[in-house]
Amino acid sequence: MNLTDRSKILITCAKGLGDWVANELEDLGYEVLIKRSNGVEIEGDWLDVMRLNLELRTALAVLYLFHEFNASRPKDYYKTVNSLPWEELISPSEYISIVSRADTPTINNTMYVGQLTKDAIVDRIVDKTGSRPNSGPKRDNIVINVFWMGQRCWLYLNTSGNKLADRGYRKMPFKAPLQETLAAAILIASGYDGSQPLVLPMCGSGTLAIEAALIALKRRVGLLRNNFSFMHLLNYDKETWKDIRLEALKKGAKKLVAPIIATDIDEGAIEASVNNATTAGVAHLIDFSVCDFAKTSIPKVNNGIILMNPEYGERLGDVKELEKTYRRIGDFFKNSCRGYSGYVFTGNLKLAKHIGLRTSKRFIFQNAKIECRLLKYEIYEGSRKSKYQVDGDA
Ligand SMILES: C[S@@+](CC[C@H](N)C(=O)[O-])C[C@H]1O[C@@H](n2cnc3c(N)ncnc32)[C@H](O)[C@@H]1O
């Protein structure tokens, strides 16, 4: 397969991030063909594949459509998959992993589709080369994604491998960290682009602060990784990838134009944040300190963003105690953060009501299995909500 061979490209994402991935793609100049909550389809070639793996902040994987066909029985499915020229793409010295999803009457176990696909590919390679590639669950070599829905089958080359959320910097997760792609989407939703001061009390393991620094520097997140699945395919063009990376390294800023301040009451959280930010190469750009959120020093500006991700009682923290914390967040916004847009990311709307301020915008996100909201509060004199305002409804 040549660098210029075009096909459909499916960009997968965590449920609920489809809009944010589509926005990123449109900003990069792609035409979005299909948009779903957990994925977006475009068309492109292998240069696009490399570029997207490097650029996308909110996506999980870039899947290049290799073959699309009809099959109703496992036997027909095996036959078609086995007839494809896998030996031109996969060296027998590589390791293959299959990710399968099936919803078709002749299959009642989706693992069986994975097994069938692996057998068809491996048998073909053995037949053509005399050697057998290894296979298993590890995602850091060659990954093939299969969807078999009704009569229709799609075989994708998963060009990312391990999910793109795994940027490689979070060595210390601390408690309840946000997935990196979700943190990036939250920041983008808040309008953060690096030009405004950003204050992140309750920063936990530092995910929001690190993603913010990467956004502010316009640093391509894929530069943090040195392994993608496309590098293991026989059509991998090392020189072109080197050029694309070098080009990306030249872009972006060295310094921030506005500060990023990140605090947490827990020393362990700040230790984790500093470590993670160091791995990401941005620790020197973030002002970290240990303190209660209400003691965070807030630069006096009129265009700042303050963003908090308090515990919300599902995984951590006790609800009664948290009610007090949310009330204190409202007081803190009102008394100390004038001139800022305040954001709270939470999975508990009952707790959010205790903030007691009027929300001006709400974004729905999914954090693992919990539906969450990013709530925006305009903070100015008189922003206390009227007693009739029902807050946190969405
Ligand atoms: C849900 S975690 C934040 C996770 C973070 N977004 C991440 O990705 O790692 C909430 C954080 O709030 C911190 N926290 C709780 N009460 C606090 C307080 N009164 N002042 C400052 N930080 C507090 C906890 O230590 C914890 O790290």
pLDDT in tens, 170-195: 988 888 899 999 999 999 999 999 99
Q: Please tell me the predicted confidence (pLDDT) of residue 389.
A: 36
pLDDT tier at 392, thresholds 50, 70, 90: very low
C-alpha closest to that of 16 among 365, 314, 379: 365
Percentage with pLDDT > 70 across the chain: 95
265 lines ligand 1 (CB under 6 A): yes
CA–centroid distance, residue 311 to ligand 1 (Å):
7
Q: What is the rounded radius of gyration, in angstroms, for the C-alpha atoms of the chain?
A: 23
Ligand 1 atom closest to Cα of residue 204: 27
292 lines ligand 1 (CB under 6 A): yes
CA–centroid distance, residue 380 to ligand 1 (Å):
25
Average pLDDT over residues 26-34: 98
Average pLDDT over residues 64-84: 97
**pLDDT surpasses 80 at 129:** yes
Q: Please tell me the predicted confidence (pLDDT) of residue 315.
A: 55
DSSP code per residue over 66-91:
EEEEE-SSHHHHHHHHHTS-GGGT--
Adjacent-strand bridge partners of 41: 10, 34
CA–centroid distance, residue 326 to ligand 1 (Å):
12
The mean pLDDT value of the chain amounts to: 93
Q: Please tell me the predicted confidence (pLDDT) of residue 235.
A: 94
pLDDT tier at 161, thresholds 50, 70, 90: very high
> Angle, to 10 degrees, between the axis of helix 18-27 and the axis of helix 180-189?
70
**pLDDT surpasses 70 at 390:** no
39 lines ligand 1 (CB under 6 A): no
Domains of the chain plus CATH, in order, are 7-158 (3.30.2130.30), 180-218+253-378 (3.40.50.150)
Average pLDDT over residues 43-67: 97
Q: What is the pLDDT of residues 297-326, one digit of tens each?
A: 999 998 999 999 999 876 555 888 999 999
Does pTM top 0.75 for this prediction? yes
Q: What is the pLDDT of residues 234-284, one digit of tens each?
A: 999 999 999 999 999 998 888 999 999 999 999 999 999 999 999 999 999
The SS3 assignment for 355 reads coil
Q: What is the pLDDT of residues 315-355, one digit of tens each?
A: 555 888 999 999 999 999 999 999 999 999 999 999 999 99
C-alpha closest to that of 154 among 91, 77, 55, 51: 77
C-alpha closest to that of 354 among 382, 320, 383, 388: 320
pLDDT tier at 2, thresholds 50, 70, 90: confident
CA–centroid distance, residue 202 to ligand 1 (Å):
4
